[in-house]
Structure 1
Amino acid sequence: MTLLPGYVSTPEVDASHSPEKITSVNLATALFIFVSLLVGTVSNSLFLWVLVVKMKKTVNTLWFSHLIFTYLLHCSSLPVFSVYILLDFHWVFGTMLCKLINSSFSVAMFTTVFLLTIISLDRYLLICHPVWSQHNRTIPRAWRVVAVVWLVSLILSAPYLFFREVREVKGRMKCLNNYAFSSDWDGPEIQELMDRVHLALFVVRFLLAFLLPLLIITGCHCRMGWEMKKKRLVRNSKPFRVLVAAVVSFFICWLPYHLYHSSLTYWESFSFTQQVLQVTMVIGECFNFCFTPILYLFVGEKFQQVFKTSLLSLLKRGFMDIPIIPMNNANEESHQTCSTGSLKVKVAQTNCLPSP
């Protein structure tokens, strides 16, 4: 069973093993989570401040501000995880926090993948249906889409408010799912019912939070690439690469999570595989929520240039709306930029020398 979708509490424990004993693996994991907490809180707070306060309000900044907020939401629960692991998976925070932590984690997961899917669809419409996008891509409508995303995420996460309970298992308090709403967890009929509910929730979570979004996002990017090649369109690579980095990071980091929960459902005999997936899963979750925003600074930039450019300029280039223009217009714009020499960034991109 798991403390969270992604944090495992080993059910087979020795009753003589005190909760206060700290193993080297638990200590290393807790330290990694603590470092992730510091990095994630600082970077996500800074990015959110730039998006909300310093940048012009656009549809793109609205998408990414809510995406960064989901990262920050997850970071706020990391102290509980680290203490829980240091106590060797002994839950001391009570039933209410058990329910809230699990629910907030699920909300952050669903909201993240839904927003990444929406951003990809937005890019697809912007490139493949520019006229429709120009007339319908407005901030009020984007706000309504975001509100629906949060509402659906809350609905899909609601089961954790009902199923989660704190129960004593072999001398330890565990934050577990009680899918049957019964105090008799050991009966064969109750176990069969719990297994069915567990499998149903796993399938829903895997389809809606991984497989279907992956197919939609992949299809959007393939269609965008074909359309841009056919129409000879030019894009600003920085914001496009930020989107690709966010999508790739999410699916690489969350693949171990779904593999681990699949192992709980189908591979119960492979205990070593489950342990490896568990560690990989914790690292992936922390990296996605806490370290992915830092990638936004480096994608599409030369490594040395990152340290020579202001943080605000890097973030503005990464989160602005992606300009898509025909190739001929791009060449004309490049020629004009070379003639005036007014923008150094444009000059560098077109390999022209600025006028004196």
Structure 2
Amino acid sequence: MTLQPTSVPDQNNTNGTDCPDLYGWDWLYTGQPVYILLITVLGIMFNVFVLMVFCFHKKACTVAEIYLSNLAAADLLLVCCLPFWAVYVSNGFEWPFGLFMCKVVNLGIKMNAYSSIYFLVLVSMDRYVALVHTMTHGRMRRPKYAKLGCLLMWGFGLLLSVPTLVFREVKYFPEYGVTACILEYPNLTTELFFDGLLVVFSFIVPISIISFGTVKIIQALKIQLIERFNAEKTEQKATNLVLAVLLAFFICWVPFHVVTTLDVLLRAGILRGCHLDSVLAICNQIFTYLAFFNSVLNPILYVIVGKNFRKKLCELFKEWKIKKTTTSESSRSSNLSSTLKTLA
């Protein structure tokens, strides 16, 4: 994320003068901490619920479910880091948690942003193979390959987050009287290099792959509908859920990445203007928290759209109910046997 104290002036101003603060930031200190805490509570509850269903169900997860469970884990990682930001914002961007937590919290947030989109790349590729190249590449859709792919995506997300781990610093700004947790690169060239690299690998490349896969998936579904081809119901159900999750991701994350790209162009001097700088600062805050909402929206989609997920949930509840009944009957039988022995 590009979250940092908005009251601290831009270290690399694009027009050579300090841009005036055209918009007040009082709404930021009062409204956003409440929103962040709400997202945190709902996100933890919903994503833990999803992971419990996937992990405790007696049947092994399908390839799509492996990807979606890792997506839920990435969302859980994000919402667990957000309370620190709620305190940070409510304190007027005074960071009270020290350098270590400054790096770790931002690392967790960054890893969610990068890992999430690449888990969706894997999901999109899986649906593409399942519907478009069923016979040719079906053997590639195996759980062990899916788990290996998820492991690689976690590692790639960590790799993309290295600049955050290295360059996040806790710095005191005497003119504002705050000790802020900021992303401070040694110079503008380094900043633009890493930001440009992240725009390419965290937005342009994955969005291109996801868009290609989504178009092919929709085309395949249309062909099946026209030809009245009866595909496996499990594949159709999984595809509907994946398309819903992809749509939610586009709505929640694309505005953030677009604003981030424009911000990089502004700092590079390609775009100029104080008004644009102020508008992007406002949009960055709004779209960042819209992106956070995606971590709450995904589990809701699993329940509303995911018929297989609801089926697993019902089976899990039945299994728990049977175990509870069996345990209760066993306990009563044991107590009765003990009582009879005593009377004898």
2:60 is aligned with 1:60: no
| Aligned-pair Cα RMSD in Å | 2.7
Q: Is the contact made by 2:94 and 2:178 (CA closer than 8 Å) also made in structure 1?
A: yes
Which of 31, 50, 54 is the equivalent residue of 1:51?
Answer: 54
Distance 1:28 1:315, change over 3 A: farther
Q: Is the contact made by 1:27 and 1:86 (CA closer than 8 Å) also made in structure 2?
A: yes
Q: Is the contact made by 2:64 and 2:238 (CA closer than 8 Å) also made in structure 1?
A: no
Which of 213, 216, 219 is the equivalent residue of 2:212?
Answer: 219
Distance 1:148 1:38, change over 3 A: same
Distance 2:252 2:123 in 1: 19
Task: Return 5+ residue gaps in structure 1 as ranges.
Answer: 14-21, 181-193, 302-308, 317-356
Q: Is the contact made by 2:102 and 2:181 (CA closer than 8 Å) also made in structure 1?
A: yes
SS at 2:8 equivalent: coil
2:127 is aligned with 1:162: no
How big is the shift at 1:315? 10
Partner of 2:341: none
TM-score normalised per structure 2? 0.75
How big is the shift at 1:73? 0.3
Partner of 1:257: 256
Distance 2:54 2:198 in 1: 30
Larger displacement relative to structure 2 (275-284 or 143-152):
275-284
Distance 1:268 1:50 in 2: 50
Distance 1:118 1:102, change over 3 A: same
Partner of 2:330: none
How big is the shift at 1:243? 1.0
How big is the shift at 1:291? 2.8
SS at 1:281 equivalent: helix
Partner of 1:139: 143
Task: Look up the equivalent residue of 1:157 and give its one-letter code.
Answer: S
2:179 is aligned with 1:173: yes
How big is the shift at 1:218? 1.6
SS at 2:171 equivalent: strand
Partner of 1:74: 78
Partner of 1:96: 100
Distance 1:29 1:120, change over 3 A: same
Distance 1:55 1:6 in 2: 41
How big is the shift at 1:66? 0.5
Partner of 2:133: 129
Distance 1:216 1:96, change over 3 A: same
How big is the shift at 1:282? 3.3
Q: Is the contact made by 2:129 and 2:138 (CA closer than 8 Å) also made in structure 1?
A: no
Task: Look up the equivalent residue of 1:86 and give its one-letter code.
Answer: S
Task: Return 5+ residue gaps in structure 2 as ranges.
Answer: 11-24, 267-271, 318-344
How big is the shift at 1:224? 2.5
Distance 2:315 2:220 in 1: 28
Larger relative contact order (C-alpha < 8 A, sep ≥ 6)?
2
Task: Look up the equivalent residue of 2:261 and give its one-letter code.
Answer: S
How big is the shift at 1:93? 0.9
How big is the shift at 1:8? 4.5
SS at 2:119 equivalent: helix
Which of 9, 26, 37 is the equivalent residue of 2:40?
Answer: 37
- Counting aligned pairs with the same residue, the percent is 24
SS at 2:7 equivalent: coil
Distance 1:142 1:213 in 2: 18
Partner of 2:285: 279
Q: Is the contact made by 2:252 and 2:290 (CA closer than 8 Å) also made in structure 1?
A: yes
Distance 1:220 1:282, change over 3 A: closer
Q: Is the contact made by 1:36 and 1:291 (CA closer than 8 Å) also made in structure 2?
A: no
How big is the shift at 1:311? 8.4
Instruction: Map 1:206-245 to 2 at 5 A.
Output: 206-230=199-223, 232=227, 233-234=229-230, 236=233, 237-245=236-244
Distance 2:2 2:43 in 1: 20
Task: Look up the equivalent residue of 1:260 and give its one-letter code.
Answer: V
TM-score normalised per structure 1? 0.73
Distance 2:96 2:262 in 1: 27
How big is the shift at 1:29? 0.7
Which of 9, 19, 23 is the equivalent residue of 2:6?
Answer: 9
How big is the shift at 1:234? 4.1
Q: Is the contact made by 1:296 and 1:315 (CA closer than 8 Å) also made in structure 2?
A: no
